[in-house]
Amino acid sequence: MVRGQATLERIAGAMLSARVALKAEYERLHKTVLAIVRDDAVCGRLMTVPSVGPLVAITYKSAMDDPSRIAKSKAAGALFGLTPKKYQSGEKDVTGGITRTGDEMVRTALYEAANVLLSRITRFSKLKRWGMDVAKRRGLTQLVRLAALECAKTTTSELSQSAPLKVSTDVRTRQG
């Protein structure tokens, strides 16, 4: 495609060599993250939650450095901006989208974990069945927010315990 055109050959060659360098650096960083997570007991426990992988676990752990600062696991969503905006006056009560306050990287990681749980994991679970029921009633975007909120609540509530994490299966306790 670029043969015979010297300028395009130089540009394509430079882009391909940059791509090779970036790929090598990515592989090195990925191995480093996996080594850090492998040696960390908390990250190992976080990865027992369905759809939580090494990147989500280390991101969540770094943001939630001290789980005791949150009194209830329900407040973890507010810490990462996953709760809905509220506007209330004497006459109006409007619930909007998420507040987007807090750590954006953790919020993004939780959204990715929720998407993986709902779209890629084929293993049956009560959490996934709950999610599909919510998707029918409220739509996919609302479902992803609720699943990310549930993931934050689950990991926060179990972060300080020594037993493996257990995902809540009581659908009555969830919003939706």
Residue extents of the structural domains in the chain: 40-173
Q: What is the pLDDT confidence band of residue 47, given thresholds at 50, 70 and 90?
A: confident
| pLDDT of amino acid 161 | 62
125: left (phi over 0), alpha (psi -120 to 50) or beta: beta
171 pLDDT tier (thresholds 50, 70, 90): very low
pLDDT at 157: 64
Distance CA 125, CA 144 (A): 16
Residue 94: beta bridge partners? Answer: 87
Looking at residue 90, its pLDDT comes to 80
In whole angstroms, what is the distance from residue 84 CA to residue 100 CA? 9
Comparison of pLDDT for 113 and 16, the residue scoring more: 16
Residue bearing tokens 């409220």: 138
What does the pLDDT look like over 22-33, one tens digit per residue? 999 999 999 999
pLDDT of 175 strictly over 50: no
Cα separation values, 79 from 46, 52, 60, 104, 105, Å: 18, 19, 12, 11, 12
Q: Name the residue with higher pLDDT: 143 or 28.
A: 28
The average pLDDT across 30-54 equals 88
Percent of the chain with pLDDT over 90: 19
Residue 159 has pLDDT above 80, yes or no: no
CA-based max dimension of the chain: 73
> Quick one: how far is CA 92 from the chain centroid?
33
Highest mean pLDDT among 51-60, 85-94, 95-104, 120-129: 51-60
Q: Note the pTM of the prediction, 2 decimals.
A: 0.71
Q: What is the DSSP letter of 176?
A: -
- Beta bridge partners, 98, equal 84
With a CB cutoff of 8 Å and minimum separation 6, the contacts of 34 are: 54
**pLDDT, tens digit, for every residue of 105-139?**
888 888 888 888 778 877 777 777 777 788 788 77
Q: Using pLDDT thresholds of 50, 70 and 90, give the confidence band for residue 168.
A: very low
